[in-house]
Chains A and B, each alone.
Chain A
Amino acid sequence: MTVWDDVIGQEQVVTTLDRAARTGEGMTHAWLFTGPPGSGRSVAARAFAAALQCPLSGCGECRECRTALEGSHADVRVLATEGLSIKVEQARELVQEGGLRPSVGRWRVILVEDADRLTERAADALLKALEEPTARTVWLLCAPSTEDVIITIRSRTRHVRLRTPPVEAVADLLVRRDGVDPAMAGYAARAAQSHVGLARRLARDEGARIRRRDVIVMAGAIRSVGDAIGAAHDLATIAEEESGAASAERDAAERARLMELLGADAAARTQPPHVRAQLSSLEREQKARATRFGRDVIDRALLDLLSVYRDALLVHLGTPVALVNQDAVESVQTVARAFRPEGLLACMDAIGLARERINANVAPLLALEAMALSLRVEPRSAG
């Protein structure tokens, strides 16, 4: 067993990182991990952090390895945001911490999981630390692509590119790590298009599978303008429900914990000012998180929808590539019959445009409506 076990389908990257941790060859003070969502950027970064701390350079069994992988190692600081962005205050905190010597390990590792969510000012705050590194500090930044971080960060880091892992590798990981049934693992890995986290969720959560099926069925079923507006409404509602269900419980727990921490009386009708201030800042944070979560859910649904049209196009063109939706071949066939190839491409463009717009802060429901209207099955394009 090694720390690299969960880094799947990335042999080349693992070789590079392993060599750097083991021999110091090619080691540098700042690394930028890029790769498509779900390819395991943060998993790879955590594994590298563990390998750096481990006396055996990544045995995967010692205390150093285990705490580093879990994120509780004293010298591994992990910053992951659940909000829409990482603020400059948080970045400054990291810089301060980066100036300290490691306390127990060989390196002080600072891992930023969503470097693409650094605001411009936050990114600027990191520059000095990245340019003039402290002797035993290593920065690990993760982002979907090099374009997602500002150019001055890009030029100060060593770039590690992860690829989309093969479906078999993801399925294998689900079976090995999470004890999922092999058939289910295969389905989940394919449906999630090799996104490891998503595949895991699909394999374990019946609700997620049902929601995915609902979205896929939607593809060929939009005929009239009314259908389109209804479908957009359904999509937005699904996202809202999922986001609400996931966060309500957690929000309440966080609130209770904060009250306990402040020694406030939870039953009191009105709280003293200092408690109110803390509570409202927590609520702001939770709201930002809910916004991001809602958007992520919609984005995921749109990716599912996109996969149907992609499959339909493959059917049309007779390309010998595996379908994403092998389990829903009838839906794919329906869509393939309803559209010509150019119509399918137009649909895929419309979905892409909606994703872009939601990212650019357009009201999600409106963006979805405009998209759904473009997805209408028109009688003249049937054939």
Chain B
Amino acid sequence: MSDIPPLVLVRGPEELLADRAVAAVLADLKVEAPDLDVVRVGPDYHSGQLVMDTSPSLFGGSTCVVIEALHEASEDLHADLLDYLAAPAEHVTLVVRHAGGPRGKKVLDALVAGKARIFECPAVKSDRDKSDFVTNEFRRAGRKVTPEAVRALVEAVGKDLRELAASCAQLVVDTEGVVDDRVVETYHGGKVEATGFRVADAAVAGQAGEALRLLRHAIATGVDPVPIVAVLAGQLRQVVRVGSASRGASSAVLASSLGMAPWQVDKARRLASGWTPEGLATSIQAVAAADAEVKGGGRDPVYAVERAILTIAEARAAGRR
């Protein structure tokens, strides 16, 4: 017998990990039963289908039923699952995927009570999680990777975990020896995952060239100009509000009185040191004009944002002189 229990729960929002967990379970089962019958239950479920799928076949053999998305399943499926869990069939392995949310809680509880094996697939969001993920990918393939290469890879294609995994697989297949940042540069050189926040950070820090470069990346990867302008406005606002608050207050006190997070206060304080009030005023007015233009008032939204960024960088440089 394989060591897979008859009930498996794959829980969490990260699809790639969930896909892998399901695939691993199926592979394990197939070692034991090469003619395993796999039934995937998708969104087009009709009441009673589950009973049919789980009833013994005339020819014997075992079955694995995969419920693809319990969190979006119909009430019918929930009811049928509960019935099934009250009396599970012997030859069937039931695999349930649930991406999170309140729906289907009863079924989840029943699965846990039935001693299902649980695979957790938490969302991979922070850069550190992504780095760990990449390191793991290479380790699984038996390859060495340098920390610099990991960082470069996460910066280049880190937005989507699937893309990250695919890039890792590509590097494993295409290259030999230790994967270092030079190899990553060859494959992904010049590509940067730019968000509005990175654009705004560069602009408010007075780095016109860097900000424009990131802006182009962001636009090219499908970020709309409108949220970029909103982030610019938000950053400048924070600098002004932190800058005009009393200097002696601790960042925690300031954070609660301004409704900001402490790290935002610290960051805004650092940025504020290079700014003059006049420069901030000019910048905010430029951003307001850009906002009107990206929302239909001008002909070229991207140019409007570029001009605002240049104005901001110039205003900041003028303050430093």
Question: Contact residues of A with B, CB < 8 Å?
Answer: 224-230, 357, 360-363, 365-367, 369-370, 373-374, 376
Contacts and interface: CB of A to CB of B under 8 A. Distances in A.
Contacts of A376: 281
A374 B278 CA distance: 11
B288 A226 contact: no
B284 A361 contact: no
Interface stretch (B21-29, B36-44, B137-145, B233-241): B233-241
Given A230-B244, A373-B281, 9 more contacts: A224-B244, A225-B244, A226-B241, A229-B284, A230-B241, A362-B291, A366-B287, A366-B291, A369-B233
Interface stretch (B49-57, B86-94, B204-212, B292-300): B292-300
A268 B161 CA distance: 39
A365 B237 CA distance: 10
A228 B284 CA distance: 11
Given A225-B281, A362-B295, A363-B230, A357 B288 contact: yes
A230 B245 CA distance: 11
Contacts of B233: 363, 365-366, 369
A23 B244 CA distance: 69
Interface string B261-300: 0000000000000000110110011011101100111000
Given A225-B281, A226-B244, A228-B281, A369 B295 contact: no
Interface of B: 230, 233, 237, 240-241, 243-245, 277-278, 280-281, 284-285, 287-289, 291-292, 295-297
Contacts of A363: 230, 233, 291
B248 to A, nearest CB: 16
A374 B243 CA distance: 19
B244 A369 contact: no
A146 B284 CA distance: 35
A370 B297 contact: no
Contact of B237 (A362, A369, A374): A369
A228 B296 CA distance: 27
Given A373-B285, A374-B285, A229 B296 contact: no
Contacts of A370: 284-285, 287-289
Nearest to A225: B277
Contact of A366 (B240, B288, B297): B288
Contacts of A365: 233, 237
B240 A225 contact: yes
Nearest to B282: A373
Contacts of B287: 366, 370
A374 B288 CA distance: 12
Given A229-B241, A357-B292, A360-B296, A373 B284 contact: yes
A103 B251 CA distance: 71
Given A361-B295, A361-B296, A373-B281, A229 B288 contact: no
Contacts of A229: 237, 240-241, 244, 284
A375 B125 CA distance: 43
Contacts of B280: 225
B67 to A, nearest CB: 21
3 residue pairs, one from A and one from B, having the closest CB atoms: A226-B244, A370-B288, A225-B277
Nearest to A374: B285
A369 B284 contact: yes
Contacts of A366: 230, 233, 284, 287-288, 291
A226 B236 CA distance: 12
Contacts of A228: 281
Nearest to B240: A229
